[in-house]
Amino acid sequence: QVQLVQSGAEVKKPGASVKGSCKTSGYSFTWYPMHWVRQAPGQRLEWMGWINTGNGDTRYSQKFQGRVTITRDTSASTVYMELSSLRSEDTAVYYCATNVGATAFDVWGQGTMVTVSS
């Protein structure tokens, strides 16, 4: 079945970077884009950016421009999201999500909790 499995929780200090992974299975990796969405505690979902897994093109939310980098490894069917210059406000659950069977995000990873604390 279609599945997205994300890397484990991280604890980082302010100013550091974090890189999470999203390993896919059950579908043709390069046929569908991958998005990253985060959710701070008690807050709404927030879209960060996406990658065209076929050609590697990316598009980021202006809010994260310059701090976020989304990449992919087609041989491993895995997408990565790196966020730099972390601050306490970046404490959140980070999700990868894609649209395989619908036009919206019908498949989600389980989420990665990132805690930024000194």
Partner 1 sequence: EIVLTQSPGTLSLSPGERATLSCRASQSVSSTYLAWYQQKPGQAPRLLIYGASSRATGIPDRFSGSGSGTDFTLTISRLEPEDFAVYYCQQHGTSPPLTFGGGTKVEIK
* Contact set with partner 1 (CB under 8 A): 35, 44-47, 49, 59-63, 95, 97, 101-106, 108-111
CB of 21 to partner 1, least distance (A): 16
Q: Give strand ranges (E) for the chain.
A: 3-6, 10-12, 18-25, 34-39, 45-51, 58-60, 68-73, 78-83, 92-98, 107-108, 112-116
Beta carbon nearer to partner 1, 80 or 95: 95
Beta carbon nearer to partner 1, 18 or 97: 97
CB of 107 to partner 1, least distance (A): 8
Closest of 53, 112, 109 to residue 82, by C-alpha: 112
